[in-house]
Structure 1
C-alpha cells in the first residue's frame, strides 16, 4: 500500500453509523482511515429527527464532515438509501472524491427521488399517512427467513440491529437528488449488489454496462441479504480494499 485511503461510509435509511462496526476495523487494520457518521435523525443524532429532515439535510451532513475534516481523495460509499446521499454529495464536492461505491444502493439520475428509484418507498409513505405522525416511516418489518430483518437472519444480530434502528422522515424519500454538475459524472463508480433473497416488492434497477464517465461498469455480487456489512463484513471489506 503506497498511501492510506480515507473511507467515508454512509449508512442507509433507519440505520446508523454502528452498522459499519464489523467493516471499519477491517479497513483500519490495513492502515486506512475510516469515518462512519450517523446521519441527522439517527444514532447519536436520533433526537434531531423531525419533519424537516430530508435528503438535503443528510447531504449537508456529509458535505459538512468532508469540509470540516478537509477530506480529499475519498472513497465515498453509501448503503441502500445512502446511494441518494452520496450521489448528491458528489455533485457538491466532486473534486474531493476519488471513487463512489454503491452498496446495494439506490442510484438516481438528476431530479429523481427515492420514490422514483424504488417505487416500494411510496407504499411505505402511504402506510405511514394514517398514523399519528404521518411524516415518520418506521423500519421495514422482519420477514421469515431467508429475508429476515434487512437480510439479517442470525437471532443475535437481529436483536442488536433492532436496537440501532429509528424512524425515517418522509422528506428523505421525497426530495430529489441534484446531479447537475458534469464533474460528478467523471468520478469512477463501483457497485456491490447483494444477491441473496430479496423481499417481495423490492426491485433493483440493472446497472448500466457503461459508467457515466464512459468506462465499463464495475459490479461485484455478494451472496447475502441487504445488510451485507453485518452479514458479510469480511467480504465487503475485501471489495472496498480492492478499490482503495
Structure 2
C-alpha cells in the first residue's frame, strides 16, 4: 500500500484533489491532500518557500507515512522536490504533474517567462500576493465551464514570498526516483530543466492529452497514472 501525498499548485488548496483522492483510496492506498500555508482554509498564515517545504515534510512525519508517493502540481513541484529529498527512505517516488521543479538557488520567479523583475512587479502591485486567474485564462486547457467555475471558486491569492525565495537542494534532483507528467495542451514539450532531468535513469515521462489542471479536467485518468507509478 502506498501513501499518496498530493499538493496542488498556486492559489489552490487540498480540495483541488477531491476527484483524484477517491479512486486512490478505492484502490486500497492512503491519500492525503495537503493545503499549504497561506492558501485556501489556511489564508492569513505567513508563508515563504521554506514554510511550504516544511508543511509537506511535517505532513509526512506527523502521520509516520511510509512508501510515500509525493505528488506536486505546477508551482508546488518546487517545494515538493525539496521535501522529497528530505524525507529519506520514506519516499517511494515523486510525481511532478505539469510542474515546475526546484533549481538550487533559483525560485519560481527567477524562471518566469517574462523575467523575474516583471513577476516581482506583479506581486508588489497586489500587496505581496499573486492574484488568481480569471475565467479567460483557462481557455484551451480542456476544461468545462463547470470545472473552470470550481477552479476559480477554490482559488485564493498566493503568498508572494513562496514564489520569490530560492530553493535549496542538498543533492542532484536527478537522483530521486521521479515521474514527470506532461499535459500536452499546455505545451508539447517539458521545459529545458525538466528535459535534462529526464535523461536520468531515475526519471520517466508520462503524457496526458489535457491541459494544465488535470485533477479537474481528467481526474480519473490522472488517478490511473498515479496508481501505475505506485505499482
Partner of 1:97: 91
Partner of 2:195: 208
Distance in 2 between the 1:211 and 1:223 partners? Answer: 19
CA shift in 2, pair 1:29/1:179, >3 Å: same
Residue 186 of structure 1 pairs with residue 175 of structure 2: yes
Q: Give unmatched runs, 5+ long, in structure 1.
A: none
Residue 65 (structure 1) shift: 1.0
**TM-score, normalised by the number of residues in structure 2:** 0.89
Q: Residues 119-158 of structure 1: matches in 2 within 5 Å? A: 119-120=113-114, 122=116, 123-131=118-126, 133=127, 135-143=128-136, 146-147=139-140, 151=141, 153-158=143-148
Distance in 1 between the 2:51 and 2:77 partners? Answer: 14
CA shift in 2, pair 1:165/1:35, >3 Å: same
Distance in 2 between the 1:39 and 1:189 partners? Answer: 22
Residue 235 of structure 1 pairs with residue 229 of structure 2: no
Partner of 2:55: 61
Distance in 2 between the 1:85 and 1:120 partners? Answer: 22
> For each residue in 1:147-202, what CA deviation from the matched residue of structure 2 results, as whole angstroms up to 9, or x when unmatched?
3xxx36311122222121001111111111111146x653211000111145xxxx
> For each residue in 1:36-86, what CA deviation from the matched residue of structure 2 results, as whole angstroms up to 9, or x when unmatched?
0111112221232x4xx1111111111111111111220001000111011
> For each residue in 1:96-117, what CA deviation from the matched residue of structure 2 results, as whole angstroms up to 9, or x when unmatched?
1110100000012222211233
Distance in 1 between the 2:13 and 2:225 partners? Answer: 21
Residue 32 of structure 1 pairs with residue 32 of structure 2: no
Contact 2:2–2:66 (8 Å) recurs in 1: no
Q: Give unmatched runs, 5+ long, in structure 2.
A: none
Q: RMSD in angstroms over aligned alpha carbons?
A: 2.2
**Residues paired across the two proteins, number:** 227
**TM-score, normalised by the number of residues in structure 1:** 0.84
